Amino acid sequence: MEDLRARIRALERPSWTGEEKLFSLGIPEIDRQLPAGGFLPAALYEVLADRPVDAGAATGFCITLLAALADYRKGRVLWCLNNNATDAGEIYPAGLTQHGLDPSCLTIVKTTRDTDVLWAMEEALRSNAFIAVLGELRAIAMTASRRLQLAAEENDALTVLLRPATETPGLSAAVQRWRIKAAPSHPRGFVATLNEPGNTCWDTTLFRSRGGTPGTWLLEWCDETDHLALAPPVCDRPVEPHNTGLTG
């Protein structure tokens, strides 16, 4: 049985040898469900917003992913964006520190076309100057995503695609595809009259995981400890969605 699993693993891309240093969001429940036992640092990830208003949540998830990588690997991050792809404003450096990313390592490339974003991302990956490259674009073709995935593997850099909400996400060669939705937070403190927003909550769906199983998790960003955690079940929130257990 183990032999069979290894053979299937060898057929499937990405081929991980078990020697790569994996990184983690700090949530064992997610890591357990990933085929390599953690996030591969040299692979293509795709993050989609569930609805246009969820652009902030999707951005936050990307930043958390980059910050988790930057925790164990120092280096620069390139953020390529197509100005026309999103109408949710531009990234704001002062907000990055709150999600654990040092804004000074960030370089921004602004373009007005998806093709320029893809060109800049590939150029950056091939240069080996960045530990992570993020592209904010509207749509990506299968071939283009395949090129990015190969470039990410060859040059050992995390590659993230941040896409706005779309009904049809299309095909993609990404190792993982996430759909991010904001979730109501539960109030901080003990006084019910304090009606302040609590810790940021995201309803995250891993709807495509190469070699692994999809899943849904309700995550919470703890401001006090600066890390991500599974949101604790609270009586006043809707029943926590269970992992669907589908095979990918």
Partner 1 sequence: MALANARAILPSVTIHPAAPTADGKMLARLAQWCGRYSPWTSTGKENDPELSLEGAGGAGIWLDVTGCAHLFGGEEAMLADMANRIEKLGFTARAAMADTLGGAWAVARFAPNDTWQVIPPGETRAALAPLATAALRLPPATVLALHEVGLRYIGDLLDMPRGPLAARFEKDVRLRLDAALGKAAEPLSPILPKTPLIARLAFAEPIGHRDDIAAATGKLLENLCATLEQAGQGARRLVLSIYRPDGSTAQITIGTARPSREPSHLLHLFSEHLDEIDPEFGIDEISLIAAVANPMAIDQTNFQRGAAAQNVDSYNAVIDRLTNRLGSRNIRQTHFRESHIPERAAGFIPVGKTKPIQSEQGCAATPRPLRLLRPPEQVEAVAESTDGPPVLFRWRRVLHHITRCEGPERIAPEWWRSDNGNTRDYYRVENETGQRFWLYRSGETSWFVHGLFG
SS3 assignment, position 206:
strand
Site for partner 1 in 188-207 (CB under 8 A): 195-198, 200-201, 203
Q: Among residues 20, 31, 71, 123, which is the contact residue for partner 1, using CB under 8 A?
A: 123
Q: Among residues 25, 42, 68, 109, which is the contact residue for partner 1, using CB under 8 A?
A: 109
Bridge partners, residue 134, by sequence: 79, 160
Bridge partners, residue 47, by sequence: 162, 178
Tokens representing residue 157 in the block: 């850099």
Q: Is 236 exposed, middle or buried (0-12, 13-18, 19+ CB in 10 A)?
A: exposed
Q: Among residues 91, 151, 174, 231, which is the contact residue for partner 1, using CB under 8 A?
A: 91
Stretch of 51-59, 144-152, 164-172, 206-214 lying at the interface with partner 1 (CB under 8 A) = 51-59
Output the CA torsion 68→71→72→75 (10° steps). 100
Task: For residue 61, give the nearest of 160, 171, 187 by alpha carbon.
Answer: 160
Amino acid, single-letter form, for residue 224: E
How many residues at the interface with partner 1, by CB under 8 A?
56
Q: Among residues 28, 103, 170, 241, which is the contact residue for partner 1, using CB under 8 A?
A: 103
Task: For residue 14, give the nearest of 53, 44, 37, 52 by alpha carbon.
Answer: 44
227 is an interface residue for partner 1 by CB under 8 A: no
Whether omega before 35 lies within 30 degrees of 0, making that bond cis, reads no
Shortest distance in whole angstroms from residue 2 CB to partner 1: 37
Q: Among residues 24, 31, 73, 119, which is the contact residue for partner 1, using CB under 8 A?
A: 119
Q: Residue 109 or 144: which CB sits closer to partner 1?
A: 109
240 is an interface residue for partner 1 by CB under 8 A: no
Q: Residue 36 or 201: which CB sits closer to partner 1?
A: 201
Enter the DSSP assignment of 97: G
Residues in touch with partner 1 (CB under 8 A): 52-57, 59-61, 63, 75-76, 88-99, 103-104, 106-111, 116, 119-120, 123-124, 127-130, 181-185, 187, 195-198, 200-201, 203, 221, 223
